[in-house]
Chains A and B, each alone.
Chain A
């Protein structure tokens, strides 16, 4: 069954959810002028490795990455799937913890943290227990409900822009590449794209359409950083934890019946994050159920959600969340930079083998 549109939509929404919170903070912390250079670098890496990933997958029609690795022996499967699994479970914990903290900072300052985390976990667990089909279909629903609002806010966020803040456009300072905050910014760049490799035996998709979706995302990566810069200037923005949220907060539209558009904007993004969480949970479950096939998947899912919820409870403050992001970075770069080429190499090798056997 071809589900290109649904895959594209969920790819788009989950990235939107990731982009607008931490990404601008990290990029702005990594350098203090010519922000477009780190942004473009990230986008190019995303684009190239996504293409390699999909090319590699195309050698194995009707197989997901677990099947591909397993078909090349247990050792290869362990080497590649273990870091991916660790990455996924860490991402689940980090996302739940950090986004509930964001919710408390930004609008629910009186609600206890555990309640917010509980709700996030609950909805995501339920959604992923219903399987990929439900996740993809709910992404369409979320897009219809919340995408217009998000786009509207992005559009009006240009209200307080002073274009002169765009200068200077060039810099000789390329130290950002080694800065921890720049490495952390790859959370929004390489956070979701692995899920393309889990779709295949269930549904099919057209790789070209996914690449078009990435092109659609490019403006959002750029404006999430540049709107705060153009509004506040680059000496003020580093003081903010969530620059884009602050920039949206400074919008003044008196014909709108709502006082602060920020809350609506953030709630839309939170729903995208729930979608992201359920996707990651579902991917993690795919790996786990192949390892422990005897368990009932749904009970296992509840157990895993419960464990990650308890882990979240043990993270006391925002500093630790940032540390976790950093610890998670090697795994993220493994998923981003090593998994796609490995698939490509395996694909080329197996094709050669086939040729030898046939000829």
Chain B
């Protein structure tokens, strides 16, 4: 099923200078009891965003009105822990389209790409520099082109290229889906089964 396309856009950023942000922080397990993919954004970073009485924690970044945008910039190893795709749904549903970090946990990265959320990897020093920059200047615009694999920060004159698997790059740009790709391969998969024999 087609996803929302993601190619060229610009946005301000939300800095989250924490490392090893795990999926239990992104969306705690007690909010996983849903049978749909929608609505998880309300509980994104729930226990950092709200106290136990449900009041907004004032010094958490998402509650600071100075910071907003479609790009989340986070410390290394973002999305470690559980395989719950609900973490990606929560990040996406909240309004982010890109997460920048110096590396992502494998399952989170796959889940993100399967939902049209770009896990964008930059060198650790550059991520730290970007966090410092947008923390000090929340109005900083970051431009991203998936087609050109490029990140630009006009105000500082910096630009970087990022790596992305060409297949996944195409999927993001055109809003394509791995499942459609695989469904079209069903007869080839059945041939593989025959050749191999005796499965299950």
Chain A bound to chain B: no
Which positions in B face A, CB cutoff 8 Å? none
Residues of A with Cβ closer than 8 Å to B?
none
